[in-house]
Amino acid sequence: MAPVNSLAYKVANQAELDALGWLTVEEDTASNTFNVTMQNHSDLPDTLTSVEVVFEHLSTGERMSSNVTLLP
């Protein structure tokens, strides 16, 4: 299996991640990777929280699940 990079994959659940308001997953076109950042937000959890990020292969449609875990 090839590494997950933005040339071969997209984030399939981007709208759900954006709706959180405190988590951003964005393509880094300079390195063809994805960057995850958290913003200070009133809904930012203060307990251990895991968020699913689903990657979809651009040509095959195959999906792969991963997680981002917030450690307060």
40 three-class SS: coil
- Give burial (CB, 10 Å; 0-12/13-18/19+) of 9: buried
Q: Which two tokens stand for residue 21?
A: 């308001």
Residue 72: its pLDDT value, please? 77
How many other C-beta atoms lie within 10 A of the C-beta of residue 23? 22
Confidence of residue 1 (pLDDT cuts 50, 70, 90): low
User: What is residue 2's predicted lDDT score, i.e. its pLDDT?
Assistant: 66
Quick: pLDDT tens for 17-43. Answer: 999 999 999 999 999 999 999 999 999
Range of the domain at 49: 9-70
| DSSP string covering 51-68 | EEEEEEETTT--EEEEEE
| Count: domains in the chain | 1
42 domain residue, yes or no: yes
Q: Tokens 């792969």 label which residue?
A: 64
Tell me if 3 is assigned to some domain. Answer: no
Q: Kindly report, residue by residue over 36-63, the tens digit of the pLDDT.
A: 999 999 999 999 999 999 999 999 999 9
